Amino acid sequence: MKSLVTSFWLVFCISILLFSFGLSWQINKSVNFTYPVWYQVLDIDAHISKYAPQNKYNKQDFVFTDKDQHVKLFEQVVIAINNHGKNLDKIAYHSKNKQQLLFTQSEVIHLQDVSNLVDTLRLVWLVNLLPLILLSLLYMQKKLHMPSTKLKVTALIVSVVVVISSFAIFGFKKIFYYLHTAVFPDNHQWFFYYQESLMSTFMKAPDLFAAMGVNLLVVGIIIFSCCYYFINIQSIKSSILNR
């Protein structure tokens, strides 16, 4: 019985986590993943100034674009990725009274792969709502009991230690690259040198993606904590009313 309760709790927590990080994505995309903030922190302007003039596809004039345009371009990418990749191949920048497509065909294909992944994860998030609602109702009605606080705290600590240790041992870059090889098609390019890709240049990959991961993690944890607190409060209210 104890193992069954623990299993229910694990499923419940995973369901809340999926919901929390899905909602975190929605919130972050609505604020452009705070790109303007990370633009300053990561000194992306200097990064563009260094690598844009070295571009191998005759897009060296990207160096003459400014921060406002970079922010708008990133916003267009975020919108396209969250809209099934629509218009990725039409995103263009303006420089010296000239308009030029931002991405090469290989970059468009990669970003379309990213968009396909987002679509899949969005479907998982929506399907997850069903067990989340069901388990939440069972828990609030006291038909599903949670393990002891000690077990929950231990599980949380172990999970955090495993995640931190993984990044400490392997590093974000290695994990980031491994996930790309595991998720994206083998015959699609996903690694781009700064000299061949304005995408990598104005996003300062993979540094910006690590920063976006921090955004998702922080907001996700806040949402998770709020959900767990709300469900516990409702459970307590239900217990008082049923006495």
pLDDT band (50, 70, 90) for residue 229? confident
147 burial class (0-12, 13-18, 19+ CB within 10 angstroms)? middle
- Greatest mean pLDDT among 155-164, 176-185, 227-236: 176-185
Q: What is the pLDDT of residue 218?
A: 92
Residues in contact with 217: Cβ distance below 8 Å, sequence separation at least 6, in sequence order:
24
Question: What per-residue string of b and e applies to 167-181 under the rule 16 or more CB within 10 Å gives b?
Answer: eeeeeeeeeeeeebe
pLDDT tens profile 74-99: 999 999 999 999 999 999 999 988 99
Closest by CA position to 183, among listed 125, 113, 115? 113
Q: Is the pLDDT of residue 143 over 60?
A: yes
- For the chain, the average pLDDT equals 87
User: How many other CB atoms are found less than 10 A from the CB of residue 109?
Assistant: 19
What pLDDT is attached to residue 48? 98
28 pLDDT higher than 60: yes
pLDDT at 164 over 90: no
For the chain, domain boundaries:
2-241
Q: What digits encode the pLDDT tens for the residues 104-121?
A: 999 999 999 999 999 999
- Tell me the C-alpha to C-alpha distance, in Å, between residue 158 and each of 151, 162, 163, 198: 11, 6, 9, 40
Question: Can you tell me the distance from the alpha carbon of 82 to that of 105, in angstroms, rounded to the nearest whole number?
Answer: 19
Task: Please report, for residues 101, 192, 205, 209, 242, the alpha-carbon distance to residue 27 in angstroms, rounded to integers and kept in the order given.
Answer: 28, 28, 22, 16, 37
Each residue's pLDDT tens digit, 36-60: 999 999 999 999 999 999 999 999 9
Say if residue 157's pLDDT is above 60: yes
Residues 6+ apart with CB under 8 A from 211: 38, 41, 42
Specify the pTM: 0.86
Residue 27 pLDDT class (50, 70, 90 cuts):
very high
Report the run of H or E that residue 67 belongs to, with start and end.
helix 67-81
